[in-house]
């Protein structure tokens, strides 16, 4: 395990993934309780869970097809930056109660983007880790995801109860910025396949759709 983490590139990717995933679960731990406190309705609070679960149903089998035709590192950075922007938009809900509907829009969009971030993270690991260390690297990735699921909701609940909803939203947004910094430090060797994709950007969109329908 320590031998894999001594790989600078994988260590940056691993820590970036943990920080990003931790931000996901901080939001999931705090947002439903915030919605319930605002509305006093278990049904409306439950809709926040549906808003985050629906993208998994709709995109989990599709996102990987598109990600395979993109630059993995760039995809992760753009995904984290987009999620940071969307999450920080929730601060408007705290200031302007009439914008409460943003909770559902942001939750849905953030979860949609996550469906593209995760397969990019998994696909990037084999490019920076040797084959004999890949199994350990995958195990570390699963361990990091489990850690985030365990600790994230607890942190989200603590921030919500001690400092208010804005603190949870800011912490989530900052986690994505921290993830961007770590991922940006990853040095990925350029492969001939990647160069060919970069040299034909106009046909890229058509290739994605044709590959998707072929895989279906």
Per residue in 14-48, pLDDT tens?
999 899 888 888 888 888 889 998 888 888 888 88
Q: What is the CATH number of domain 2-189?
A: 1.20.1250.20
What is the average pLDDT score of the chain? 84
Alpha helices in the chain (DSSP H): 2-5, 8-39, 42-59, 63-67, 72-88, 91-95, 102-128, 131-163, 165-184, 192-198, 204-215
Q: Where are the domains of the chain?
A: 2-189
Per-residue pLDDT at 52: 86
pLDDT band at 207 (very low <50, low <70, confident <90, very high): low
State the average pLDDT over residues 107-121. 91
pLDDT band at 174 (very low <50, low <70, confident <90, very high): very high
Q: What are residue 49's phi and psi, to 5 degrees?
A: -65, -40
> Above 90 in pLDDT, residue 77?
yes
Per-residue pLDDT at 200: 43
Q: State the pTM of this model.
A: 0.82
Per-residue pLDDT at 211: 52
Per-residue pLDDT at 83: 93
Q: HSE of 181 in the Cβ direction (CA atoms, 13 Å)?
A: 7
Per-residue pLDDT at 1: 67
* Percent of the chain surpassing pLDDT 70: 87
pLDDT band at 60 (very low <50, low <70, confident <90, very high): confident
> Above 90 in pLDDT, residue 206?
no
């Amino acid at each position: 395990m320590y031998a894999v983490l001594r790989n600078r590139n994988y260590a940056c990717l691993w820590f970036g993934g943990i920080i990003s995933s931790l931000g996901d679960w901080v939001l999931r731990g705090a947002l439903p309780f915030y919605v319930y406190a605002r509305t006093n309705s278990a049904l409306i609070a439950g809709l926040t869970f549906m808003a985050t679960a629906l993208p998994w149903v709709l995109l989990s089998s599709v996102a990987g097809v598109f990600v395979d035709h993109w630059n993995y590192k760039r995809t992760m950075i753009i995904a984290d930056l987009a999620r940071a922007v969307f999450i920080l938009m929730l601060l408007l809900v705290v200031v302007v109660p009439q914008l409460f509907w943003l909770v559902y829009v942001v939750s849905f969009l953030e979860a949609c983007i996550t469906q593209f971030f995760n397969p990019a993270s998994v696909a990037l690991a084999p490019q920076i880790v040797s084959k004999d260390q890949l199994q350990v690297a995958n195990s570390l990735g699963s361990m990091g995801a489990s850690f985030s699921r365990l600790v994230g909701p607890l942190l989200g609940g603590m921030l919500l109860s001690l400092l208010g909803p804005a603190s949870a939203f800011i912490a989530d947004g900052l986690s994505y910025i921290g993830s961007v910094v770590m991922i940006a430090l990853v040095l990925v060797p350029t492969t001939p396949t990647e160069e060919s994709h970069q040299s034909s950007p106009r046909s890229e969109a058509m290739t994605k759709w044709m590959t998707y329908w072929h895989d279906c």
